Homo-oligomer: A and B are copies of this chain.
Amino acid sequence: MITNIPRPPYYAVIFTSERTTGDNGYSEMADEMELLVNKQKGFLGFESARESSIGITVSYWKDLQSIRQWKVNHKHKEAREKGRSIWYKSFKVRIAKIERDYGIEKL
Contacts and interface: CB of A to CB of B under 8 A. Distances in A.
Contacts of A16: 2-3, 47, 58
A35 interface: no
A74 interface: no
Residues of A in contact with B, size category: 35 or more
Interface in A1-23: 1-3, 8, 12, 14, 16-18
Interface of A: 1-3, 8, 12, 14, 16-18, 47-51, 54-56, 58, 84, 88-106
- Chain multiplicity (copies): 2
A54 B58 contact: no
**Of A12, A90, A95, A96, most B-chain CB atoms within 10 Å:** A96
B51 A2 contact: no
Contacts of A89: 105-106
18 contacts: A1-B18, A3-B92, A12-B94, A14-B98, A16-B47, A16-B58, A48-B56, A49-B51, A49-B56, A90-B105, A91-B103, A92-B101, A92-B103, A93-B101, A94-B98, A95-B100, A96-B99, A97-B97
